[in-house]
């Protein structure tokens, strides 16, 4: 796959806050992780008493405002928009897909991981 060059962009996007909950119980059971939900089995390595998992819920969200980006359940980080050269202008005035990614400072085009992604409609 051809890598596109990294380009400075001044982005104008609306402030937004998206949050979601995911019940992990069925997903964990499909992965054959079932003993933690059973009476008498549970998690024995974490406590002297047997711990039973009643619920397994993953909550994630992202908030973008004029102060930066805050993503929870994936860490917290700041976003800086710096434009040193003549930037490309991007105005998100229609539905869009967003990605918050982890890259190295030395090589911003080298994507390490997608931390959060979503759509805003």
Quick: pLDDT tens for 16-75.
888 888 888 888 888 888 777 666 555 666 566 666 667 777 777 888 787 777 776 633
E runs forming strands in the chain: 9-12, 16-23, 57-65, 68-72, 88-91, 96-103, 111-120
**Domain map of the chain by residue range?**
9-120
| Alpha carbons 70 and 61: distance in angstroms, whole number | 8
Tens digits of residue pLDDT in 70-96: 776 633 323 333 334 455 777 778 888
Task: Say how many residues make up the chain.
Answer: 121
């Amino acid at each position: 796959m051809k890598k596109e060059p990294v380009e400075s962009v001044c982005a104008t996007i609306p402030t937004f806050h998206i949050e979601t909950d995911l019940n992990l119980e069925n997903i964990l059971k499909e992965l054959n992780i079932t003993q933690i939900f059973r009476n008498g089995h549970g998690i024995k390595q974490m406590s002297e008493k047997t711990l039973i998992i009643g619920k397994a819920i993953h909550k994630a969200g992202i908030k973008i405002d004029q102060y930066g980006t805050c993503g929870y359940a994936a860490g917290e980080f700041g976003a800086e928009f710096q434009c040193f050269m003549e930037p490309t202008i991007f105005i998100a005035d229609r539905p869009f897909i967003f990605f918050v990614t982890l890259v190295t400072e030395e090589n911003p085009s080298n994507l390490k991981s997608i931390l959060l992604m979503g759509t805003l409609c």
